[in-house]
Structure 1
Amino acid sequence: MELLQFTDKGIWCAAGDFYIDPWKPVQRAVITHAHSDHARWGHQSYLSEHAGIPLLKLRLGADIHIQGVAYGENIFLNGVKLSLHPAGHMIGSAQVRVEYNGEVWVASGDYKLEADGISVPFEPVRCHTFITESTFGLPVYRWEPQQQLFSRITNWIYENQQAGKASVITAYSLGKAQRLLYHLQDKVSRIMGHGAITNVNELLLSQGYPLPTLERVTPDIPKAAFKNAVIIAPPSADDSAWMRRFTPYSLGVCSGWMQVRGHMRRRNADAGFALSDHADWNGLLQAVTATGASKVYATHGFSSVFARYLGEKGIDAQEVTTAYGDEETIINPET
């Protein structure tokens, strides 16, 4: 029997009697990060890296039963050794290392290799078997260095300001929005936000993260106040009455899918920026290589393509169907 098994509830460790990011209610859930496809309501107990606890409580409710552990701290569940290690995906994100009878598996959750400045950077973990995401598992997805990308975003904002327009940027409220705020805070004088984003920002400010104070967009703010401002909004606000109050504005979409032309037109965006909190093609390959794993399971994303490529390179790789996806899959060309 394999150390970790793919079941209809999630990734299960029979020996330790726990699940990793289960999508159906279970007794004991180990959570890689607080995004809704990996952290779901209804489990009897949760285990997370310490920094993820406030975010999980924000998303799932303050009354959930949750235990926190530090990165690299070993705990034992029915004799199975378990530890969490930085995934670099967002604040509190972790890879799950599971060891039993000399066999080591790592479930990556979601991850990226480039340090974003606010989450603990990705650390490769040596293992025999690696469960990897493959959200952007095609060679076309290769991210430009974030310093260059944020320079382009900043220049776009300045051009909008010269034209007397507000700059509305859509980004997922948990993770990417904070990354934007962190990198724009010294370059823009006025940044405003949708309530979904200001709620997360206020929580993280209270936890001591180096983020700017974000002005919440409310109905009583006069229209003139939006001129030349930067407004961060979740993708769900796109083309809504809430967003039309900023007219005239220019819309920028931050998503890894913006790497491919055509997605910007589909979103009716004025600008597209391929900013992603997932590893690109090269990052996925680098991460797999760094683990030294002889067996790889590829989950959500372009899993069949990525597994086939690894197989051609001599790695025993297999596609696995799970219930994972994320904010960016709403415009995934596969769906």
Structure 2
Amino acid sequence: MAKKQLLEFTDSGIYCPQGRFYIDPWKPVDDAVITHAHADHAYMGHKHYLAHHLSREVLFYRLGEIQLQTVEYGETVMKNGVAISLYPAGHVIGSAQIRVEYKGEVWVVSGDYKVEDDGISTPFEPVRCHHFISECTFGMPVYTWKPQVQIFDDINNWWRGNLHNGVATVLVGYSLGKAQRILQNLDLFNGTVYTHGVIENTNEALRRNGVILNPTERITADSVKEDVRKGIIIAPPSSAGTPWMRKFQPYSFGYCSGWMAIRGAKRRRAADRGFVLSDHADWNGLVSAIDATGCQSVYLTHGYTATFARYLNGIGFDAHEVHTLYGGEEEASPQPSPKESELENQDERNNIEPANKALSFGEDLGEAFGGLNP
């Protein structure tokens, strides 16, 4: 009889039969270990959650008053004889790789990750294992990132040019991860960073968790348009093209995403500038991270799984594609859904400022909008 795997791929998520827990399950389960707080990895409805302590307040903000246990990196939790420990993934603040060990057999679930130190997330650490379950969102050779210092030089120069031309600067990035990375790496030469309500709610949750972020000012109905236009505005992806954003006209709209590496992506998002800034590993980062684990086998969960699996098998790895529901965050969602657009317009008409409440799945993309005085 074939030996049963320590981790299995089921229709509810990645499951450990011995430990009786799931990792990033997408259907309600009794015991869930969460890699990070993005909506495609942290779902509502589980009875018990385990995550890194820097995800605590963001998970409460997004999911409500869940039963949540948090741990530090490297701390071990035992579940039915299985040792679970979390290690930095470098994806966003609080993101973790999940190391699972039983009777000397070690599996690691990467969640989402990047290998470049972004200056705000705990940097990625490779973890030795027998089996590695990896994302490959950008698992194609065309995706090769420049050092982020070069990207932020471009962003800061673009902002200076907009100020010189009397044009407001609106920079779009995902509300958890990209927005904080932008905030911490901008050259704040011209003063205030203004934030959309969904992003500011996320910032506030992180600050409650002890994360030190640069100062920001939430855009509300009391914000003065001319003051806001002199700073830089950070907004979520689904704000693009909405009445909320049009209040800042004339403006230049920049989009931060790994997809900006592909010709036509900027045009499809109607952006004036596209900045290739991703919170996922590029081709070289994926290859180096997998190699550093020393693993015997690799399981690819989402992204260019077929292409990347062929490449890894060709260079001597035992690589497999698996089906999961990961990959639904901003990097994989170029446009808001009709439902999101409808809600944005309704909130605009009602001048609703987002409350500090648990979010639905769709609100991760920025359904709730604040106002602005003309």
How far 1:315 moved relative to its partner?
Answer: 0.5
Match of 2:54 in 1: 51
Deviations 1:238-296 (A, max 9, x none): 10000000000000000000011110011111100011110000000000000001100
Q: Of 237, 244, 256, which aligns to 1:254?
A: 256
Partner Cα separation in structure 1 for residue 35 and residue 136 of structure 2 = 16
SS of the residue corresponding to residue 19 of structure 2 reads coil
Whole-angstrom CA distance in 1 between matches of 2:76 and 2:21: 15
Q: Name the counterpart of 1:33.
A: 36
**1:1-335 map, 5 Å:** 1-61=4-64, 63-184=65-186, 186-325=188-327, 326-331=329-334
Q: Residue 75 of structure 1 contacts residue 83 of structure 1 at CA under 8 Å; is this kept in 2? A: yes
Amino acid at match of 1:111: Y
Structure 2 CA distance for aligned equivalents of residues 196 and 188 of structure 1:
23
Structure 1 position 219, deviation (Å): 2.5
Gap change, CA 1:202 and 1:163, over 3 Å in 2? same
Q: TM-score, normalising length from structure 1?
A: 0.96
SS at match of 1:3: coil
Q: Distance in 1 between matches of 2:54 and 2:77?
A: 17
Q: Give the C-alpha shift of residue 185 in structure 1.
A: 5.5
State the one-letter code of the partner of 2:13.
G
State the TM-score, normalized to the length of structure 2: 0.87
Aligned-pair CA distance for 1:191:
1.1
Distance of 1:208 and 1:19 partners within structure 2 = 28
Cα deviation code 1:16-73 (max 9, x no counterpart): 0000000000000000000000000000000011111111111101x21011111111
